[in-house]
């Protein structure tokens, strides 16, 4: 047995060495990409902003003095102070605590909507672009039907039909979001499927599914990453807008758009009630857009300087 292990070790070391050599170009490209990202002050600013929101959302139970639904009725509409850093709302909720808890809600919602939309759109778009013919025609016509409606209007209709809660809001946004990814990935796949590595995979008997998901999609993923990063900020804005006009979460929930909507009647008497949730929406969207723009400049060779 010891002899067998000794005999296997050189072979294993050889495979590991070959694997490391195969990965070296990708690792080199990754290091160069990270270097370019570090050279952009705007990307660094965006990364810092998003990191702050992510850390606040993760550690919300430990850094907030009050719960998201906790009310201090005797301290309603108090201005910012040492006891309440962002003041209190019209029914005594601590705005600092609710803004931090709302970060968890909004970031989770944005990640869920973008991730699910990206998966649905990628699968349908890749299948459409690779298969072509009748399959392409049917899938793209279905996509066109969804694209014919403005995403916000379609989300409002779905949310109104399903009812007001966080899960239904996510479904409403996904329904209007996946067609963008389907169109984007279809265009990438149409270009990639004509390349030599696809013909090589087919020549050795790889199945259509393996060619799509093992070879074509991984090489079409970079524009998708950029689009997803930019869409995270847009989803936060749209979700806040839907909640503001009454198609999002239920009143009183710790969600940025809902907090602004609940406090809009007090904007002149107690402006802090809407100021801090509004700033959270602005800064989160700004940070995600800065990172998305930086990724686009770095991952697109035509834009690299």
DSSP string, 2-20: HHHHHHHHHHHHHHHHHHH
Q: Output the pLDDT for position 32.
A: 59
Query: Do both 51 and 30 map to the same domain?
Result: no
Query: What average pLDDT is seen over the chain?
Result: 82
Of the given ranges (36-50, 87-101, 109-123), which has the lowest mean pLDDT? Answer: 36-50
Question: In Å, what is the CA distance from 302 to each residue of 55, 249, 294, 296?
Answer: 34, 42, 13, 10
Tokens of 33: 């990409």
Query: Do both 87 and 153 map to the same domain?
Result: yes
Query: Do both 134 and 16 map to the same domain?
Result: no
CA distance 171 to 22: 41
Question: Residue 57 — pLDDT band, cuts 50, 70, 90?
Answer: very high
Query: Do both 7 and 64 map to the same domain?
Result: no
Query: Do both 175 and 254 map to the same domain?
Result: yes
The answer to whether the CB of 287 falls within 8 A of the CB of 53 is yes
Q: Is the pLDDT of residue 8 over 50?
A: no
| Average pLDDT over every residue of 148-152 | 83
The answer to whether the CB of 241 falls within 8 A of the CB of 223 is no
Query: Do both 168 and 130 map to the same domain?
Result: yes
Of the given ranges (25-29, 126-130, 273-277), which has the lowest mean pLDDT? Answer: 25-29
- What 3-state class would DSSP assign to 88? strand
Query: Do both 115 and 25 map to the same domain?
Result: no
Domain count, the chain: 2
| pLDDT, tens only, 178-223 | 999 998 888 888 877 777 666 676 676 767 677 766 767 777 777 8
Q: Cite the DSSP H helix spans in the chain.
A: 2-38, 41-58, 60-63, 95-131, 133-147, 151-162, 166-192, 196-203, 208-210, 221-244, 256-263, 272-299
The answer to whether the CB of 97 falls within 8 A of the CB of 246 is no
Query: Do both 17 and 57 map to the same domain?
Result: no
Bigger pLDDT: 300 or 70? 70
Q: Say how many C-beta atoms besides its own lie within 10 A of residue 163's C-beta.
A: 10
Residue 78: give the domain boundaries. 42-303
The answer to whether the CB of 183 falls within 8 A of the CB of 143 is yes
Query: Do both 18 and 86 map to the same domain?
Result: no
Q: Is the pLDDT of residue 302 over 80?
A: no
Query: Do both 12 and 99 map to the same domain?
Result: no
The end-to-end CA distance of the chain, in Å, is 57
In terms of Cβ atoms closer than 10 Å to its own Cβ (0-12, 13-18, 19+), residue 48 is exposed
């Amino acid at each position: 047995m010891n002899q067998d292990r000794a005999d296997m070790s050189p072979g294993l070391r050889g495979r590991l060495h070959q694997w490391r050599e195969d990965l070296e170009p990708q690792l080199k490209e990754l290091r160069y990409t990270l270097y370019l990202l570090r050279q952009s002050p705007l990307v660094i600013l965006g990364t810092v902003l998003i990191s702050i929101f992510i850390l606040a959302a993760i550690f919300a139970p430990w850094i907030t003095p009050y719960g998201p639904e906790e009310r201090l009725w005797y301290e309603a509409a108090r201005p910012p102070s040492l006891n309440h850093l962002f003041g209190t709302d019209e029914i005594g909720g601590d705005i600092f605590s609710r803004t931090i808890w709302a970060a968890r809600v909004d970031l989770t919602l944005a990640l869920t909507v973008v991730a699910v939309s990206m998966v649905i759109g990628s699968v349908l778009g890749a299948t459409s672009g690779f298969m072509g013919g009748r399959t392409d025609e049917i899938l793209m016509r279905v996509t066109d039907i969804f694209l014919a409606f403005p995403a916000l209007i379609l989300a409002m209709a779905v949310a109104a039909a399903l009812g007001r809660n966080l899960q239904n809001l996510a479904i409403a946004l996904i329904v209007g979001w996946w067609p963008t990814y389907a169109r984007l990935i279809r265009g990438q796949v149409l270009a990639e499927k004509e390349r030599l590595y696809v013909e090589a995979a087919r020549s050795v008997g790889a199945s259509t599914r393996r060619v799509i998901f093992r070879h074509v999609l991984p090489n079409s993923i970079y524009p998708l990453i950029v689009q997803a990063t930019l869409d995270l900020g847009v989803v936060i804005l749209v979700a806040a807008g839907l909640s503001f006009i009454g198609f999002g979460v239920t009143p009183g929930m710790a969600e940025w758009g809902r907090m602004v909507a609940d406090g809009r009647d007090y904007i002149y008497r107690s402006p802090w009630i809407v100021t801090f949730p509004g700033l959270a929406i602005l800064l989160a969207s700004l940070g995600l857009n800065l990172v998305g723009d930086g990724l686009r400049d770095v991952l697109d060779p035509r834009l690299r300087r």
